[in-house]
Amino acid sequence: MSCYDTLTDYGLRSIGIGERLLPKTDITLCDQFVLIGSGMIWNVYFAVFAMLLGFGLATLVAVGKASQNPWAAIPAKAFIFIFRGSPLFIQFFLAYEIFVLIPKVGIDINLGFATITAETRWLTKAWLGAVIVLFLNTSAYSGEIFYGALRAIPKGDIEAADAFGMSGFRKFRRIIWPAMLRLAWPSYTNEAIFMFHATTLVFFSGFPAWRQSGDALYYANYFADKTFNPFISYPIIAVYFVSFTLVIIALFGWGNKRLNRHIAPEQKIRFRFKPQFIR
């Protein structure tokens, strides 16, 4: 079997398209490259959705924690403390147990033009359950980052906004929020890298891989077990992760440039690779 055939058979294996059976004997280097790469689809999926959803909640949590109102500040602080103070690994286990215990019911959602049925049993599947856990987790970490940035906004910016007669939501949207993002961006980049790396925990902690469709680490581990040789599959997944990390740095670097475009060159904030691993 040529490597091209392997690619068409196994390229989308992790999302259930293509050959069902995994190679068991005569595992080639190409098999390993293709299947581990196929598993990366899951890692990207988890990271993208958790980050997109988490961005919104993180802003809310940060504003909540900085708020004078105890009804907003205390829940925000507790949320951050619980999700930052405990290991993500345990959070996955715990969430999975909760999801399993939730009664299995379908909820009809009327969209006007069509009705879809949201079923609670989806929560026990990685595509939904794991995204929810990662979303809450990244919201807590990003919320703390944003909170730190909120407190570091130069007083002059806010005074200038007041002088222009801005108040309430307009001041927040035009002045505070962009300044917060600009200050938080380098740390937020690290958070994104970290979140991406944390997606490897999904299939190792509670969420079962359905029909052997797992993420990159699931396949790397499968090959290491099957061939009893860790020196091939693990370096391959390492190469994948390093290259995807570089992509994240490039994408966020573009964002950083945009956020800093009005700032004098010597005051621009630079990104430094400093991820905080493992939660």
Q: Report in angstroms how near the CB of residue 22 gets to another protein at its nearest.
A: 14
Q: How far is the CB of 117 from another protein (least distance, A)?
A: 26
Residue with Cβ nearer another protein (13 or 279): 279
Indicate which single residue of 45, 220, 222, 252 sits in contact with another protein (rule: CB under 8 A). Answer: 220
- From residue 226 to residue 265, the character string flagging contacts with another protein as x (rule: CB under 8 A) and all else as - is xxxxxx--x--xx--xx--x--------------------
Q: For residues 187-216, which are near another protein according to CB under 8 A?
A: 197-198, 200-201, 204
Q: Rule CB under 8 A: say whether 29 interacts with another protein.
A: no
Selected binder of another protein within 86, 122, 167, 212 (CB under 8 A): 86
Q: How far is the CB of 173 from another protein (least distance, A)?
A: 31
Ramachandran bin of 183, using left for φ above 0, alpha for ψ from -120 to 50, beta for the remaining angles? alpha
Site for another protein contains 273 (CB under 8 A)? yes
Asked if 74 is part of the footprint of another protein (rule: CB under 8 A), the reply reads no
Interface mask (CB under 8 A) for another protein, residues 119-138, using x and -? --------------------
Binding footprint of another protein on the chain (CB under 8 A): 25, 27, 81-82, 84-91, 93-94, 97-98, 100-101, 197-198, 200-201, 204, 217, 220-221, 224, 226-231, 234, 237-238, 241-242, 245, 273-279
